[in-house]
Amino acid sequence: MATQLDQLKEHTIVVADTGDVDAIDRLKPQDATTNPSLIYKAASMEKYSKMIDDAVASSNGDLSLAMDKVAVNFGIEITKIVPGYVSTEVDARLSFDTDATVAKARKIIELYKEAGIDKSRILIKIAATWEGIKAAEVLEKEGITCNLTLIFSIAQAIACAEAGVTLISPFVGRIMDWYKKEEGVDGYAGAEDPGVLSVTKIYNYYKKYGHDTIVMGASFRNADEIVELTGCDRLTISPALLDKLAESTDPINVKLDASKAADMDIAKIDIDEKSFRWMLNQDAMATEKLAQGIRGFTADIIKLENIIKAKIEA
């Protein structure tokens, strides 16, 4: 009997959500995603110290450049393993600055180019604020593909699609976390999980209205959430949960189906800056989790900066 992971791969492109290069090599996913928290975690491992030291040595004391090179060094190693996309995230502190986000993305792509990595292999990961989405719109027109992250609402998703973004990462587990606390419950059955319902709503809307933007569910807390999104374009999954899926042979069924979405009665929503900000404001969960996500990534960027700064000053 095929494992759940093998069954999932028949319907969905599986992506590894980690900065641990060895784990990616072991799991052999199609794509890989990183974020500041995952890079910080990997950078704290002794086995990856050379990548940090190389970034410091080649940056001539420039902390910003060293930080970019750390992220790119991990990305370079990952491109040697996965055949598809590698996501590299822009500094979360730029989440409300369109011009600075565009400039940082161009710099990251330039560093990859210097290493012989074509921009077609890289997704620039940007928080899905209005400013971040507008930055992605500029970058996509330049042929720089983007992954808009920290998606918690349909407003963010629609704005990304209308901006021509290549891929979005709607979060599942963090939505469940919020509702568990809000509703005072221990958890949800997979099909009733608020995070699963959010990604399903986004997927069906995209397929109903012919949006090409890839939906890649992210931030999973358990295997049930993943199984309930079988059929999604892509799912980015931690090594621990990929291992769990590989250990089970329970049958799984397709849950998301583009052909069925086409016939669904889904109202079209027009998004501009005013409606985007209003819809986000009216969604307490999305407002809180987007802000919290940006703060969390920022905190880990600062921790990583402190490691790099100490090496520069050593």
Helix axes 63-79, 284-313, angle to 10 degrees: 110
- Beta partners for residue 215, in sequence order: 168
Please identify which of the residues 41, 69, 119, 125 carries the catalytic annotation.
Answer: 125
255 is a catalytic site residue: no
Distance (Å, rounded) from C-alpha 128 to C-alpha 275? 15
Instruction: Give me the phi and psi of 28, to 5 degrees please.
Output: 55, 55
- Beta partners for residue 122, in sequence order: 86
Positive/negative CA dihedral, 264, 230, 144, 69:
positive
Distance (Å, rounded) from C-alpha 114 to C-alpha 225? 39
DSSP calls for 122-178: EEEEEE-SHHHHHHHHHHHHTT--EEEEEE-SHHHHHHHHHTT-SEEEEBSHHHHHH
Minimal CA–CA distance to 203: which of 182, 181, 183, 233?
A: 233
Q: Which residues are catalytic?
A: 125
